Amino acid sequence: MSALEIIAVVVSFLGIWLTAKRRLLCWPVSLLACALYFKLFLDVRLYSDMVLQALFGIAILYGWIVWTRGKEEVGEVVVSPLSPLQAWAGLAAGAIGAVAIGWFTSHYTNAALPWIDSGLSSFSLVAQYWTARRHSASWLLWIAVDVLYVGMFVFKGLWLTGGLYAAMVVLAVIGYRRWQQAAELASRPA
């Protein structure tokens, strides 16, 4: 456990907690967390996750813009439904990305866990996109991905990061419940 990992865990936890609360501050905090984890994953040769952090940085900027535009007059971020077609398209994109990234990293890098790392990275991008689009279903995908991440990080000896991802599963459950409640309140007649 390094000082870098400790700081990355704290900043990441704060970013996820703010996201669950639908606070715009989640985006700059999460951007900092991405930068910290980019360096950490480079150090432990989890290259797909390292690249994922760079892509998350772009997705975070996108999400920040979308959330800023998606606020109600009262200042709350509006939760948006995810259609079955959008869900299947996202999951298909995640699977295609997992195979493509996994093949590349298993053939052209010395990645420690190329297939699991690429699969989790690819589906994390889908979850991040769904989060940026304000879909409560993003939290369900985050739960699945984060459970698997716990195992990968423990295997790599990143115990604190594994603990963070275990906590992120809990935060994702809370986020899903809060976002579902917000969607239900918004759909009630005035």
Instruction: Give per-residue pLDDT as tens, 64-123.
Output: 888 887 666 556 678 888 999 999 999 999 999 999 999 999 999 888 899 999 999 999
Residue at 140 is within a domain: yes
Residue at 171 is within a domain: yes
Residue 74, pLDDT score: 54
Residue 80, pLDDT score: 87
Residue 57, pLDDT score: 93
Q: How many domains does the chain have?
A: 1
The rounded mean pLDDT for the chain is 90
Residue 87, pLDDT score: 97
Mean pLDDT of 37-66: 88
Mean pLDDT of 155-166: 90
Rounded to a whole number of angstroms, the distance between the first and last alpha carbons of the chain is 52
Residue at 146 is within a domain: yes
Residue at 153 is within a domain: yes
CA distances for 134 relative to 119, 139, 146, 163, angstroms: 23, 10, 19, 26
Alpha helices (runs of H) in 76-135, residue ranges in sequence order: 84-108, 114-132
Residue 190, pLDDT score: 63
Residue at 77 is within a domain: no
Residue at 79 is within a domain: no
Percentage of the chain beyond pLDDT 70 is: 95
Predicted confidence band at 127 (pLDDT cuts at 50, 70, 90)?
very high
Among 36, 30, 35, 34, which residue's Cα sits nearest to residue 15? 30
pLDDT at 17 over 60: yes
DSSP one-letter code for 75:
S
The boundaries of the domain holding residue 169 are: 3-70+84-187
Residue at 98 is within a domain: yes
Residue at 75 is within a domain: no
Residues 189 and 170: their CA atoms lie apart, in Å, by 31
pLDDT at 35 over 80: yes
